[in-house]
Amino acid sequence: MTKGVLLFCFNTPDCDYHRILQRCVRLIRKNLRLEITVVTDFDTYTKMSPMGHVNYKFIEPELGNSKNGSEWRNVDRHMSYELSPYDTTLVMDIDYLPFSDNLRQYLDTDYDFLISKDAHDLTGRSSFDLRRFSMIDMVWATVFVFKKSAKAKRIFDMIKYVKNYYSYFVELYRIRDRRFRNDYAFAIALEQANGFLTYDTLPVRLPTLPPDCRIVDIDDVGLTWQYGDQINQTQGQDVHVLNKELVNV
């Protein structure tokens, strides 16, 4: 049974995401010790430094989404099932930095599809309580695990259906954010595919730094970050970094 990590990376006019990818790949190789496949486009690929043995899948990213006025190329995750060459796949955002081996254990799961429903704000502000912004609990497509199985295929087929009719589902579930978001598309698809019953989730709250936290320093064991007039440090803990200025550290 093959196991590996699937990453999506597309540079935009405002951000050289390949620089974040290179840091993420190094940490995966050091701490998770899993095979890696990167989904990217040729223009982004030509900017990357050599990263050792990495598999590549080339696609043209779907355009049209934006975030804070900048282009946001992050809507192709519904293709994970077809793009993954593994029997069991861990899909991660490239700005989710695995400073531990914690995620590796979930690739031994018997479940067909697992995703996290909660994020932990490392500043203690509970900024990710998003239930009030829709009639459905959001999931975090930042990290999820799936097997090549009939059930997982059915879930991904439903994600594609939700994506095609996203404007309808936004109205149905009264989602305030009108942009396409994987987090809501996956949540809607999981509810629909499971007959509006509960679905299986990763037993972890993803440690997350909000966008207003500035990364001061980073190495292979952890990072130092600033929020307001406070400097904090984490070591040996996975961190999802939402401030894309990470590329400049």
Per-residue model confidence (pLDDT) at position 132: 63
Per-residue model confidence (pLDDT) at position 73: 74
Is the CB of residue 5 less than 8 Å from the CB of residue 90? Answer: yes
Per-residue model confidence (pLDDT) at position 90: 98
For residue 230, CA distances in Å to 153, 216, 238, 246 come to: 46, 11, 20, 18
For 188, left (φ over 0), alpha (ψ -120 to 50), or beta? alpha
Per-residue model confidence (pLDDT) at position 113: 97
Start-to-end CA distance of the chain, whole Å, equals 37
Fold (CATH) for 3-248? Spore Coat Polysaccharide Biosynthesis Protein SpsA; Chain A (3.90.550)
- What are φ and ψ of residue 247, in 5° steps? -65, -20
- CA-nearest of 203, 200, 223 to 213 is 223
For residue 34, CA distances in Å to 28, 37, 181 come to: 7, 10, 28
d(CA 109, CA 96): 21
- In tens, the pLDDT along 62-72 reads 876 666 666 76
Looking at every residue in the chain, the average pLDDT score rounds to 92
Per-residue model confidence (pLDDT) at position 68: 61
Please identify every stretch of the chain with a pLDDT value under 70, giving residue numbers as ranges.
64-70, 72, 130-132, 196
The three state secondary structure string of the chain is CCEEEEEECCCECCECHHHHHHHHHHHHHHHHCCEEEEEECHHHHCCCCCCCCCEEEECCCCCCCEECCEECCCCCHHHHHHHCCCCEEEEECCCEECCCCHHHHHHHCCCCEEEECEEEECCCCCCCCCHHHCCCCCCEEEEEEEECCHHHHHHHHHHHHHHHCHHHHHHHCCCCCCCCCHHHHHHHHHHHHCCCCCCCECCCEEEEECCCCEEEEECCCEEEEEECCEEEEEECCCEEECCHHHHHC
Strand pairing of 3-8 and 35-40? parallel
- In tens, the pLDDT along 15-52 reads 999 999 999 999 999 999 999 999 999 999 999 999 99
Per-residue model confidence (pLDDT) at position 72: 67
| AA identity, residue 115 | I
- Would you say the pTM of this structure is higher than 0.75? yes
